[in-house]
Copies of this chain bind each other. A is one copy, B any other.
Amino acid sequence: MVKITDVARRAGVSPSTVSYALSGKRPISDATRRRVQDAVRELGYRPHAGARTPAGRRSKVLALAVPLRSGVHVPVVTQFAVSVATAARAHDHDVLLLTQGEGEEGIRRVADAGLADAVVVMDVQLQDPRLPLLRSLPLPSVLIGVPAEPDGLTCVDLDFRAAGELCVDHLAGLGHRVVALVGSPPEVYVRRTAFARRLVQGFTSAADRHRIASTVHPCGTGRDAARAVAERLLREQPALTGVVVHNEPLLDPLIDAFERLGLRVPDDLSLTAVCPAPVAASARVPVTSVAVPSAELGTRAVHLLVRKLSGTPVPQHTLLPPRLTERASTAARAAA
């Protein structure tokens, strides 16, 4: 292992000078800095993370709390995690993976042990048990998702409320008068997951604003669940012509189910979704959708965290505005 004294010797300076040359915390002459940098390169020196920590108190590690609860779409979570890791690397940080079952305890442990110097928290619920901990922690954190009481916390999310509204606005603009929301699995609502609830609020209030009929149906995943919910929708709302889907893996099965019931998309039924763009684009019928920008959320979260670490004040909430992309699944309502 090559250490700072090796570099110092090679560059003909003292270890502290090497440290300063690398950190830039004190002025160092160009000539010296260059010699140090050369020595670093030649020896392949890399500061030992552990040794840096006690004194300098930064581990350059971000913890990422990934709950992976049931009903949460895995690829979304993963893309998210990857974007966090990538963004973290761009800021010279690494990412420590904290999984479910550890939840609060994991965050506390990592904080106490000084393993990480900031935390990204995913899949935030309206009343999240981790919130009090996060507030009291000396570590900065950023939440993906906005809880009921976000004061004192930094949050990033897609504006799901606006996304719900946007979908309804779009359908209403096409003349649809009876709409339904097919949502995430029931357990997601029971847990009071923030984004799912917000979407429902947006959906409902926009429908009311447009004075159109609306219902909300949480729905599990899988072919059978899709069929069941489709049948139920048609039974309860025979005049239904617009559907908003907020349940990635259900998209294809649902289109199938509707077609089996004799409803073609978009001729008889217009469909919009809130989901990652690739999912919408590669569905059986490309689906008009509001994209969930997981990658951008991850990047934003890391940026915020880095700024917090450097002491820069950051906005409390960052809600990304939803953008609707029209695809083949929506059309104007056929004249009555």
Nearest residue (CB) in B for A224 is B282
A77 within 8 A of B: yes
User: Quick check: is A158 within 8 A (CB to CB) of the other chain?
Assistant: no
Q: How far is the CA of A225 from the CA of B101 in the complex (A)?
A: 39
Q: A78-B74, A78-B77 are in contact. Are A97 and B64 (CB under 8 A)?
A: yes
Within 8 A of B (CB), among A49-94: 49-54, 59, 61, 64, 68, 74-75, 77-79, 81-82, 85-86, 89, 94
Q: Is there an interface contact between B97 and A48, defined as CB atoms closer than 8 Å?
A: no
- Of chain B, the residue at the smallest CB distance from A109 is B46
- Partner among B47, B50, B82, B112 whose Cβ is within 8 Å of the Cβ of A68: B82
Q: Which residues of B contact A38 (CB under 8 A)?
A: none
For the complex, count residues of A whose C-beta is within 8 A of B.
Answer: 46
Q: Mark A216-242, 1 if CB is under 8 A from B, else 0.
A: 000000110000000000000000000
- Cβ of A102 < 8 Å from any Cβ of B? yes
Within A112-146, which residues are at the interface with B (CB < 8 Å)? 112-115
Could you say how many copies of this chain the assembly holds?
2
Query: For the complex, what is the distance from the CA of A106 to the CA of B112, rounded to whole Å?
Result: 26
Task: Tell me if A174 is interfacial: C-beta within 8 Å of chain B.
Answer: no
Query: How many Å from the CB of A275 to the closest CB on chain B?
Result: 15
Using Cβ atoms and an 8 Å threshold, which residues of chain B touch A78?
Answer: 68, 74-75, 77-78
A180 to B171, CA, bound (A): 45
The residue of chain B having its C-beta at the shortest distance from the C-beta of A79 within the complex is: B74
A254 vs chain B, min Cβ distance (A): 14
Question: Which residues on B sit within 8 Å (CB–CB) of A81?
Answer: 97
Which residues of B sit under 8 angstroms from A82, Cβ to Cβ? 68, 99-100
For the A-B complex with A49-B59, A49-B114, A97-B97 known, give 9 more contacts whose Cβ atoms are closer than 8 Å.
A49-B50, A50-B114, A51-B53, A61-B115, A75-B75, A89-B106, A94-B98, A95-B97, A223-B284
